Amino acid sequence: MPSFASESAPEGGRSFGLNNDSSSPVKPQVEHRDTSPPEISLIPSNEVLKNSREEEEEEEKEEEKKSGDSILLQDDNENSAATATADTAADADAAATRSYKPSSSDMLYYYERLLPFKSIFLWLNHSPVPNNDFINREFAFEFKSGAYQRYNSFSSYQDFKQQVVKSNPTRFEIGAIYTLPPNKRKVLSNSKNVLKPLEKELVFDIDLTDYDEVRSCCSKTDICEKCWMFIDIAIEIVESGLKQDFGFKHLIWIFSGRRGIHCWVSDKNARSLNDPQRRAIIEYFDISKENVLRKPYHPLLEKSFNIIYNNKKNYFENFLKNQNIKNDFLIDKLKSYNTNESQLLFNKQSILELSNYLESNPNLSGFEKLSILEKFLPQSKSNINNKKLLQNLKDFKKDLVLFLLYPKLDLEVSKQTHHLLKSPFAVHPGTGNISIPIHIGFNPLTSALNLRDLINANEGLNKDNNTSLDLFQKSIATFDDFAKSIIKDEGVKKREAEDLLDF
Amino acid sequence: MFRQSKRITSGRKNFDNYSAKDKNLYVQDGDLLSSVYSQRLNLYDIPPLNEITLEEFETWAIDRLKILIEIESCQLRGRNFKEISAHLKPILAKLLPLTSNSKDSSLLISERKKDHYSHFILRLAFCRSEELRARFVKAETILFKIRYDLLSIQEQKNFVKSIDLPWQFIDNDEKLKFEKQLYDSCYNLIKLNLGASNSNEEIIKKTFENEIFLKVPFKYVLNLVSSRSVFINDGYCYVPQFLQLNLITSEFSQKLDEKLILTMKTIPRLDEDDRLLPVLNNLSNGYVLDEFLTQKGSGSLNRDSDELNASNLNQVSEFMPLCMQNLMYGLKKHNHLKYNGRQQLGRFIKELGLPLNEALLFWKNSLKGLNFEKDYAYNIKHTYGAVGGRIKYRGMNCTNIMNQPKPHSSEYHGCFYKENSIDDIFAKLKMMQMTDEQINQITDSVREGKYQIACTMVLESKCGGKTMPIVTHPNFYFEEAYKYSKDVSANKES
* Calpha distance B474→A46 (Å, rounded): 43
Q: Do A276 and B184 touch (CB under 8 A)?
A: no
**Could you tell me which residues come within 8 angstroms of residue A471 by beta carbon, excluding any fewer than 6 positions away?**
A436, A447, A449
Assigned domain for B118 exists = yes
* Calpha distance A272→A263 (Å, rounded): 16
Q: Are A198 and A252 in contact (CB under 8 A)?
A: no
In this predicted structure, the answer to whether residue A498 has a pLDDT above a threshold of 80 is no
Q: Does the CA dihedral B271-B275-B278-B279 come out positive or negative?
A: negative
Angle of helix B130-150 relative to helix B54-76, nearest 10 degrees? 90
CA distance, residue A252 to nearest chain B CA (Å): 18
Peptide bond into B474 cis (omega under 30): no
Give the residue from chain A lying closest to B185, CA to CA. A298
| Bridge partner list, B214 | B169, B239
CA distance, residue A244 to nearest chain B CA (Å): 5
Residue A118, classed as helix, strand or coil, is helix
Average pLDDT (A41-52) is 43
Determine phi and psi for B260, rounding to 5 degrees.
-65, -40
DSSP secondary structure letters along B213-229: EEEEEGGG-HHHHHTT-
In this predicted structure, the answer to whether residue A188 has a pLDDT above a threshold of 90 is no
**Statement to judge: residues B313 and B217 lie in one domain:** no
- pLDDT at position B162 is 81
Measure the CA dihedral A307/A313/A315/A320, to 10°: 150
In this predicted structure, the answer to whether residue A77 has a pLDDT above a threshold of 70 is no
**Statement to judge: residues B351 and B268 lie in one domain:** no
DSSP symbol at A12: G
Q: Does the CA dihedral B224-B229-B233-B237 come out positive or negative?
A: negative
| Residue B455 marked as a ligand binder | yes
Q: Do A299 and B226 touch (CB under 8 A)?
A: no
Q: Do A297 and B184 touch (CB under 8 A)?
A: yes
CA angle A117, A118, A119 (to 5 degrees): 95
| Residue B323 marked as a ligand binder | yes
Return the amino acid letter for B374.
Answer: K
Q: Do B225 and A279 touch (CB under 8 A)?
A: no
Lowest mean pLDDT among A365-379, A416-430, A487-501: A487-501
Determine phi and psi for B50, rounding to 5 degrees.
-75, 160
DSSP symbol at A384: H
- pLDDT at position A36 is 40
| Bridge partner list, A203 | A264
- pLDDT at position A74 is 38
Closest partner residue to B232 (CB to CB) among A246, A277, A279 is A246
As a whole-number percent, the residues of chain B with pLDDT over 70 amount to: 85
Query: Which of residues 342 through 371 in chain A touch B, CB cutoff 8 A?
Result: none
CA distance, residue B184 to nearest chain A CA (Å): 5
Assigned domain for B6 exists = no
* Calpha distance B123→B118 (Å, rounded): 9
The residue ranking higher by pLDDT, B293 or A448, is: A448
Residue contacts between A and B (CB atoms, under 8 Å):
58
Q: Kindly list the residues from chain B whose CB atom is less than 8 angstroms away from the CB atom of residue A276.
A: 222
Q: Do B184 and A281 touch (CB under 8 A)?
A: no
DSSP secondary structure letters along A51-80: HHHHHHHHHHHHHHHS-S-TT------TTS
Predicted confidence (pLDDT) per residue in B72-131, tens digit: 888 777 677 888 889 999 999 888 888 876 667 788 888 888 999 999 989 988 887 777
B218 touches A: beta carbon within 8 Å: yes
Is A138 catalytic? The answer is yes
The CATH number covering residue B140 comes to 1.20.930.80
Closest to A367 measured CA to CA, from A316, A428, A300, A426: A316
* Calpha distance A13→A110 (Å, rounded): 9
**Statement to judge: residues B153 and B67 lie in one domain:** yes
In this predicted structure, the answer to whether residue A220 has a pLDDT above a threshold of 50 is yes
Query: Which of residues 231 through 290 in chain B touch A, CB cutoff 8 A?
Result: 231-236
A280 touches B: beta carbon within 8 Å: yes
Q: Domain range for residue B413?
A: 295-493
In this predicted structure, the answer to whether residue A114 has a pLDDT above a threshold of 70 is yes
Q: Kindly list the residues from chain A whose CB atom is less than 8 angstroms away from the CB atom of residue B188.
A: 294
In this predicted structure, the answer to whether residue A44 has a pLDDT above a threshold of 70 is no
* Calpha distance A451→A435 (Å, rounded): 10
Low-confidence ranges of chain B (pLDDT < 50): 3-24, 289-300
In this predicted structure, the answer to whether residue A156 has a pLDDT above a threshold of 80 is yes
| Residue B127 marked as a ligand binder | no
Q: Does the CA dihedral A372-A377-A381-A382 come out positive or negative?
A: negative
**Statement to judge: residues B130 and B213 lie in one domain:** no
Q: Kindly list the residues from chain A whose CB atom is less than 8 angstroms away from the CB atom of residue B180.
A: 299
CA atoms within 13 A on the CB side of B193: 16
Q: Which of A91, A106, A112, A138 is catalytic?
A: A138
Find how far residue A254's CA is from the centre of its chain: 6
Q: Are A72 and A223 in contact (CB under 8 A)?
A: no
- pLDDT at position B169 is 86
Predicted confidence (pLDDT) per residue in B6-49, tens digit: 444 433 444 444 444 444 455 565 566 667 777 778 888 888 88
**Statement to judge: residues B114 and B178 lie in one domain:** no
| Bridge partner list, A253 | A263, A438
Q: Kindly list the residues from chain A whose CB atom is less than 8 angstroms away from the CB atom of residue B250.
A: none
* Calpha distance A152→A166 (Å, rounded): 13
Q: Kindly list the residues from chain B whose CB atom is less than 8 angstroms away from the CB atom of residue A280.
A: 218-219, 222-223, 225-226
Q: Do A245 and B232 touch (CB under 8 A)?
A: yes
Residues for chain B: how many in total? 494
Give the residue from chain B lying closest to A303, CA to CA. B181
Is A290 catalytic? The answer is no
- Residue A98: pLDDT band by 50, 70, 90 thresholds? low
**Could you tell me which residues come within 8 angstroms of residue B110 by beta carbon, excluding any fewer than 6 positions away?**
none
As a whole-number percent, the residues of chain A with pLDDT over 70 amount to: 76
Phi-psi label, residue B388: left if phi above 0, alpha if psi -120 to 50, beta otherwise: left
**Statement to judge: residues B77 and B218 lie in one domain:** no
Determine phi and psi for B119, rounding to 5 degrees.
-60, -45
Q: Do B185 and A273 touch (CB under 8 A)?
A: no
Average pLDDT (A229-253) is 96
ipTM (interface predicted TM): 0.77
**Statement to judge: residues B211 and B176 lie in one domain:** yes
Q: Do B232 and A300 touch (CB under 8 A)?
A: yes
Is A399 catalytic? The answer is no
Q: Do B235 and A283 touch (CB under 8 A)?
A: no
**Statement to judge: residues B387 and B276 lie in one domain:** no
In this predicted structure, the answer to whether residue A468 has a pLDDT above a threshold of 70 is yes
Predicted confidence (pLDDT) per residue in A366-415, tens digit: 999 999 988 888 777 777 778 888 888 888 999 999 999 999 999 889 99
**Statement to judge: residues B313 and B424 lie in one domain:** yes
Q: Choose one of B278, B293, B308: the last residue of a domain.
A: B293
Write down the CATH superfamily of domain A68-284+409-500: DNA primase, PRIM domain (3.90.920.10)
- Residue A216: pLDDT band by 50, 70, 90 thresholds? confident
Burial B60-87 (b: 16+ CB within 10 A, else e): bbbbbbebbbbbbbbbbbeeeeeebbeb
| Bridge partner list, A409 | A206
- pLDDT at position B9 is 42
Determine phi and psi for A151, rounding to 5 degrees.
60, 35
With 0-12 / 13-18 / 19 or more C-beta atoms within 10 angstroms meaning exposed / middle / buried, residue B315 is exposed
Q: Which of B181, B222, B250 to mutate to test the interface with A (most CBs of A within 10 A)?
A: B222
Average pLDDT (A141-150) is 92
| Bridge partner list, A252 | A264
- pLDDT at position A39 is 42
Measure the CA dihedral A479/A483/A486/A488, to 10°: -120
**Statement to judge: residues B116 and B263 lie in one domain:** yes
Query: Which of residues 215 through 244 in chain A touch B, CB cutoff 8 A?
Result: 244
Tell me how many domains chain B contains. 3
Assigned domain for B410 exists = yes
| Residue B74 marked as a ligand binder | no
- pLDDT at position B271 is 57
* Calpha distance A451→A432 (Å, rounded): 5
**Statement to judge: residues B150 and B174 lie in one domain:** no
Domain ranges of chain A: 4-15+290-405, 68-284+409-500
Q: Which of A56, A63, A142, A205 is catalytic?
A: A205
Q: Do A276 and B222 touch (CB under 8 A)?
A: yes
**Could you tell me which residues come within 8 angstroms of residue B459 by beta carbon, excluding any fewer than 6 positions away?**
B321, B468, B471, B477, B480, B481
- pLDDT at position B5 is 46
Determine phi and psi for B166, rounding to 5 degrees.
-80, 55
Assigned domain for B467 exists = yes
Find how far residue B230's CA is from the centre of its chain: 31
**Statement to judge: residues B449 and B332 lie in one domain:** yes
Q: The whole model's pTM is what?
A: 0.66
